[in-house]
Chains A and B, each alone.
Chain A
């Protein structure tokens, strides 16, 4: 049943060794991706350029402006002297937030009356707009509360929230992105390499030649998958080491559990590679088919964007993506130190999806050959 598997593995390893460029790229690409996602991308918005048009100018109003600056979320880049100048600083892109304090700000506060402060937000960048709005709201609320408390002769507002962020206390984007990236890189490398290894044989006609030899189909398939499973395992170790030692993301949970669950994911992605190879006739097509699989994995797996906000249909679709579960597992083990009992449902679903993919592509592979 496994006839010829040794010969195929032997040959496949020679292919890998003879192609040092691919081997090098396999290590370089995750390095580049980790650097970009780890260092360059920061989902947290700070120092939003802000224009302040202060018509009042007295200490009370300056206190409000100071509250904005001290939050570190806003940075004053302009102090326009007219309404038009305020608006145009936003249109020009110089500022993303405009703060307009009315001339009677201090007077009304002293008289105990309500006062309206205008906040202009550039909505063309929704992430910045959301963050700016939330922080500005919080600042206004805090200022109001302290004024009300003072009038009620209380030192502090009655309720004080004391947040404690578990597992990623500094809420660093790196800690959130990098574990997900490990999964993405694993999928990319193993899927593409497997698909290429098989499609290449279709292109050169060697697959047809193999069919006239006594090699068994199962032996041929496993002989193709096992070398790339090894590469995938090395790759995973490499990427995890980069994560740990270059980005300082500690693995809170068990390394063995991580290795075990990674293996399930690895076989799923090898299955995807096999699937791609049964669809594509040449390497260009393989690249395109692989892209069709990779794109939703990047966008819908929860790697960058939270799945909770997705429309129902998309959400259900995202639950069919293997990477969805592996990212949950990765973040669980690496960040939260989750154990087997916390994560086995994710692993079980992943295993079911993986098995389905592997069996489907194995059957399709048999058909391709005959």
Chain B
């Protein structure tokens, strides 16, 4: 089975600005590929190139074995796309929206009828068939949008921030839906800002300032040497007065980084300093604190990689600024 997506050196420039720089990645069928990165880092540009909407300035890509430039029309029939704003026709009913997309994809009457019932079943929107799209709540609109983009049975789905502005319950339900579909062999390319969503993906890519910094499974990413240097450990500390504890920790020279994480502190410190930490915190008046070794979270991964990238960039651009 060929990979669902293969990109080789994909680059897109707008004038002097490079929106996507030399991105190479491979996504297998059935993967849920989570694509993360700050706003304006090139996520949407990359998706537009993969969908065949935008020609790459250089490099190439195949989607479902089809070339994104030469075979973009066939790609459109093979993929589904759901944008962050759930682009539905608000003055059309649920059923009419589905019928419209079934027709746009050229489904024959009998198949259209069957597929519409199928996707209504998949997203569970049966009770709202006759409702206008504008009468639906955010969660139901998003399900309808998903149903519309599924109606032609795509084997690959692009979801651009599908859960932005959706309540937590609806988010969880959407992800359960995605897992069901992925189990049936549908590949997903999902952009998101939520770390808990990233954790659910089978593979993750992180794009920062137009460059794909890492790509791999969540576990591979957490074990990257750049994230947790050989001579350092990640610790979770439960202490009272978190904010002042963080300030105290950052003043210790063997602590590389300390951040508040919900009701605890995540600390990156030199190896074999756990006891010293407890001693020093006790001396600063925080009492007997609990210190546990933890694996890095995905957020740790991205924060560390972003910082490293920034220092690298600062290093390379400094001579230019000196001029």
List residues of chain A with CB under 8 Å of any chain B CB: 3-4, 6-8, 10-11, 14-15, 18-19, 204-206, 208-215, 370
Bound together, the chains give a CA A211 to CA B85 distance in angstroms of: 15
Are B103 and A6 touching (Cβ within 8 A)? yes
Which chain A positions have C-beta within 8 A of B54?
370
Which chain B positions have C-beta within 8 A of A212?
51, 53, 76, 79, 81, 158
Q: For the A-B complex with A4-B103, A11-B89 known, give 7 more contacts whose Cβ atoms are closer than 8 Å.
A: A8-B104, A10-B99, A14-B96, A209-B83, A212-B53, A213-B76, A370-B54
Residue of B53, B73, B92, B103 with most chain A CB atoms under a 10 A cut-off = B103
A9 to B, closest residue via Cβ: B103
Are A205 and B83 touching (Cβ within 8 A)? yes
Report if B140 contacts A (CB, 8 A): no
Are B87 and A205 touching (Cβ within 8 A)? yes
Report if B252 contacts A (CB, 8 A): no
Are A3 and B106 touching (Cβ within 8 A)? yes
B87 to A, closest residue via Cβ: A209
The B98-147 residues at the A interface (CB cut-off 8 A) are 99-101, 103-106, 132
B100 to A, closest residue via Cβ: A11
Report if B91 contacts A (CB, 8 A): yes
Which chain A positions have C-beta within 8 A of B79?
212
Bound together, the chains give a CA A157 to CA B92 distance in angstroms of: 77
List residues of chain B with CB under 8 Å of any chain A CB: 51, 53-54, 73, 76-77, 79, 81, 83, 85, 87-92, 96, 99-101, 103-106, 132, 158
Q: A205-B85, A208-B87 in contact; A7/B76 too (CB < 8 A)?
A: no
Bound together, the chains give a CA A215 to CA B81 distance in angstroms of: 14
A-B contact pairs, 26 of them (CB 8 A): A4-B103, A4-B104, A7-B100, A8-B104, A14-B89, A14-B91, A14-B92, A14-B96, A15-B91, A15-B92, A18-B92, A18-B132, A204-B85, A204-B89, A205-B85, A206-B87, A206-B88, A209-B83, A211-B53, A212-B51, A213-B105, A214-B73, A214-B77, A214-B104, A214-B105, A370-B53
Which of A6, A206, A208 is close to B89, meaning CB atoms less than 8 Å apart?
A206
Which chain A positions have C-beta within 8 A of B73?
214
Which of B53, B104, B132 is close to A215, meaning CB atoms less than 8 Å apart?
B104
Are B91 and A19 touching (Cβ within 8 A)? yes
A213 to B, closest residue via Cβ: B104
Bound together, the chains give a CA A210 to CA B100 distance in angstroms of: 11
Bound together, the chains give a CA A66 to CA B103 distance in angstroms of: 78
Which chain B positions have C-beta within 8 A of A370?
53-54
Are A209 and B81 touching (Cβ within 8 A)? yes
Bound together, the chains give a CA A182 to CA B53 distance in angstroms of: 42
Residue of A6, A14, A211, A213 with most chain B CB atoms under a 10 A cut-off = A213
Q: Could you tell me the distance in whole angstroms from the C-beta of B22 to the nearest C-beta in chain A? A: 23
Are A214 and B76 touching (Cβ within 8 A)? yes
Q: Could you tell me the distance in whole angstroms from the C-beta of B146 to the nearest C-beta in chain A? A: 12
Which chain A positions have C-beta within 8 A of B104?
4, 7-8, 210, 213-215
Which chain B positions have C-beta within 8 A of A19?
91
Which chain B positions have C-beta within 8 A of A11?
89, 92, 96, 100
Which chain B positions have C-beta within 8 A of A205?
83, 85, 87
Q: Could you tell me the distance in whole angstroms from the C-beta of B196 to the nearest C-beta in chain A? A: 26
Q: Could you tell me the distance in whole angstroms from the C-beta of B287 to the nearest C-beta in chain A? A: 54
Which of A18, A206, A208, A214 is close to B106, meaning CB atoms less than 8 Å apart?
A214
Which chain A positions have C-beta within 8 A of B83?
205, 208-209
Are B89 and A213 touching (Cβ within 8 A)? no
Q: Could you tell me the distance in whole angstroms from the C-beta of B315 to the nearest C-beta in chain A? A: 39
Bound together, the chains give a CA A6 to CA B96 distance in angstroms of: 14
Bound together, the chains give a CA A7 to CA B98 distance in angstroms of: 11
Bound together, the chains give a CA A277 to CA B101 distance in angstroms of: 23
Are B85 and A213 touching (Cβ within 8 A)? no
Which chain A positions have C-beta within 8 A of B77?
214
Are A18 and B87 touching (Cβ within 8 A)? no
Which chain A positions have C-beta within 8 A of B91?
14-15, 18-19
Bound together, the chains give a CA A143 to CA B209 distance in angstroms of: 92
